[in-house]
Chain A
Amino acid sequence: MNPKKPLRYSLTGMLVALTLILSACGAPADVPPGELTGSLSVLDWAGYDAEDFWIDFKNTYPNVTVNFEIGISDADIYAKMAAGNQADIFHPYTGWLQFYVDEGLVEEIDTSKLANWDKVPEHFKKIGQFNGKQYFIPWDWGFSSVLYRTDMIPEGVDSWDALLDPAYAGHISMWDDGPAAVTVSSYIHGYDETAITADQLATIKEEWIAQRDSNLFYWAGEPELVEGMTSGSIWAGYAWQGAYATLLANSIPVAYANPKEGRNSWVGVYGIRKGTENLDLALKFLDAKLAEATGNNVVNLFYYGHSNQDVMNGITDATLKEAFSIDDPGILETTNFTPNLTAEQRDAWTAMWAEVKAAP
C-alpha cells in the first residue's frame, strides 16, 4: 500500500477541476475581439497583402498580427505548401484545388463558425467542396477573355482564335501559362478540356510554337499587359477583366470580347493548412474576408468580383457593371468554368508550355 497515493489522486483531481474552471472562465472565445492577440501567417498573391483586402479583420482584431508571404503563381503556392510551408491560410485558384485535398494539405472548414457564410451563393460554395466536405471558401472571381484595342481592331473580336491570328502579328500578348494555352486551344477546336489526348496536346504545342511569331511577349502580371495595351504595342491579349476595367477607367479604347466559344471564368479561394495551431484565428480571418468592406475593396480597387452577393448587388459604377457584365444575364450560361487539373494534366500541360518557349 502506498500512503501517498490518495493525496496524489486528490492533487490530480484538483488540477483537472482547476483546469476545467479556468477553461470555462477564460476561453479564448470569450475574449473581446479588440483584446484578442496572436499571429496569423497568410500565403497570398502580391497586392492582396494590402490592408484594404483584409480590412474587416484588421478593424475587428487590431491586436492580431498578420504576416504575409507572397506566392507568384498557383504552382508556386502549391509547391510551397507541399514542401511544408507553415502558413495558416493560403490562396489558390480553381484548377489547382484538388491537389491540396489529395495530398492532405488542407483543413476541413466548419462553416457554422462563419457569420458571413450565408451571403455566399450556393454555386460558389460548391467550388470549395470535395467529397462532400467544405475545404475552401470562395473569395474573388472573374472572367478571362480576349481584351482588344477597338481602334486597332475595329472589326472586333468574336473568337479566342484572335490570339493566334497572324493579322495581328507583333501585337498579341498571351498569358505565360501552359494550362491557359491548353484551355484556349480547347475552346477553339472544341476539345474536351478535361480529357485532352496526347495527339491533341501535340497539336496544341505546334499551334502555340507557331503563335510565337505573332506574340510580342508573354505577360506574367496584369500591369505588363495594361502597359502594353496603353502604349498601343499590344492590340489583343488574353486578359482577366481587371485589366479591362483598369484600361476603361484610363479611357483607353478597349473592348472585352464575348467569344463565340464562351468566356472562361475562375474563382480564387482560401484554405486553411491542415494541422494549423491557429484554427480559430484562421476561421475568424476567413469570415472577415467575406465581410462587406473587404469585398467592396476587392471590387473597387482590383475590379474583381467578390463571393459576398451583397457586395455584388451593391455595384452601381457603370465601368464595373460593364466589366462584370452585370447587365447581361446570359453571360454565365455561355461561360466555361475552370475545371480542376489532375497531377498528370498539370505536368503534361506545363511541360508542353516549357517546350513551346524552348522551341527553336
Chain B
Amino acid sequence: MDRRATFWVLYLPPLLLLGAFFLIPLLLMFVYSFRADMHGSFFQLWQPSLNQYTKLISTGSYWRLLGVSSLMALVISISAVVLSYPIAYFIAFYGRQRAGFYLVLLLVPFWTSYLLRVMAWKIMLGTEGVINSFLLYINLIQEPLTALLYNRNAVMLTLIYVWIPVATLPILAALQRIDIALFEAAADLGARPIHQFLRITLPLSLPGVLAAFFMVFIPTVGEYVTPLLVGGSRGSMYGNIIQDFFTKAANWPFGSAMSMVMLAGTLILVAIAVRLINVRDLLE
C-alpha cells in the first residue's frame, strides 16, 4: 500500500466520525446561535439575528461566571499538574519492573464511572460523610461541618481528584523520553540532584506538563456534572447555565450563543498561553 493510501485508510474513519459527531453539531450550534427564538421547526429557514449575543453581552452575571469558571479551571489545572508530577516522576524513574503495575493502579479509577467517582466525594464530604463522622468521633467537632460540601471548594477538590490520572499520563510520557545518559553526564560534571532536576528533568518534561495542563483546563472551563452534584446553590459554573438553557429553558439559541462565547474564550486563552510560553522552543 502506498503512502497516500495508508494515510486515507488510517485517517478517514476518525475524520468522518469527527466530522459527523463533532464538527457538524458544532456548526449547527453556531448557526442556531443566530436564531431569534425557538419558534418554528428545527430545519426551517429564519432571519439571522444577533438577539442572543446582544442579550448575552448585556447580562453581566454570565460574563462574571465565565471569568470565575476560567479561574477555577486555572486553579484546578495547576493543582492537578503539580500533584501529578511526583506520581509520574516516581513511576518513570523509580518504578523499574513495577512501572507497568503502578500505571495500572493509576488507571484503576477509569474502570469506574465518572459519576460514581464524583458521588464518592459526596459521601466523603457530606454531613454524615466519612470526614464529618471521623471528626465527630475524635471529638474535634460537636456538629457536622456543612462547609465541606455544596460549594465551589468541593467542586475544585473533586475535579482535582478526577483529573490527576489524566494529567499524569502526558507528564509520564515526557519523563520516559528523557535519556538517562544526561543525568549521568550531569552527575559527572558535579551537578547535585536538585540542579539535575531543575536544569534537565523539568525543562525536558515541560511539553508533557503543558499538554497535561491544557487537557485539564479546556474541559474544566465548561464542566457541569461535578458542580451539579457537589456545587450546591452557589457552586454553578458557566457550563451549568449553558445546560440549563438547553434542558430547562427550551432556549437552544441562547444556549448556543453562550457555548460559542465559551469556545471562543477558551481558544483565545489557549492561543495567548501558547504564544507566551512559546511551545515550539520547548518542543525543540
Contact = CB atoms under 8 A, between A and B. Distances in A.
B254 interface: yes
Contacts of B245: 350, 354
Contacts of A207: none
Contact of B62 (A350, A353, A358): A358
Contact of B233 (A76, A218, A220): A218
User: How large, as a class, is the contact surface on chain B?
Assistant: 35 or more
A233 B127 contact: yes
B249 interface: yes
Interface stretch (B34-42, B91-99, B183-191): B34-42
Nearest to A217: B232
Interface stretch (B10-18, B101-109, B236-244, B259-267): B236-244
B252 A79 contact: yes
B165 interface: no
B241 A357 contact: yes
Contacts of A82: 38, 41-42, 250
Interface string A207-219: 0000010011110
A135 interface: no
A350 B232 contact: no
Nearest to A231: B128
Contact of B244 (A79, A83, A103, A357): A357
A350 B244 contact: yes
B139 interface: no
A15 interface: no
B234 A212 contact: yes
Contacts of B127: 231-233
B250 A176 contact: no
Task: Among A73, A82, A212, A217, find the residue whose CB has the most chain B CB atoms closer than 10 A.
Answer: A217
Contact of B41 (A74, A84, A170): A84
B42 A355 contact: no
A22 to B, nearest CB: 37
Contact of B43 (A84, A216, A220): A84
Contact of A350 (B64, B236, B248): B248
A358 B137 CA distance: 37
Task: Among A84, A212, A357, find the residue whose CB has the most chain B CB atoms closer than 10 A.
Answer: A357
B248 A177 contact: yes
Contacts of A57: none
A83 B29 CA distance: 13
Contact of A355 (B59, B232, B240): B59
A220 B232 CA distance: 11
A217 B150 contact: yes
A169 to B, nearest CB: 10
Contacts of B170: none
14 contacts: A75-B249, A75-B250, A76-B250, A82-B41, A216-B232, A231-B126, A232-B127, A343-B37, A346-B249, A347-B251, A350-B245, A351-B251, A355-B61, A358-B236
Query: Which 10 A/B pairs are nearest by Cβ-Cβ distance?
Result: A350-B249, A75-B250, A83-B42, A358-B61, A215-B233, A212-B233, A358-B65, A217-B232, A79-B250, A357-B236
Interface of A: 72-76, 78-79, 82-84, 103, 170, 176-178, 212, 215-218, 220, 231-233, 343, 346-347, 350-351, 353-355, 357-360
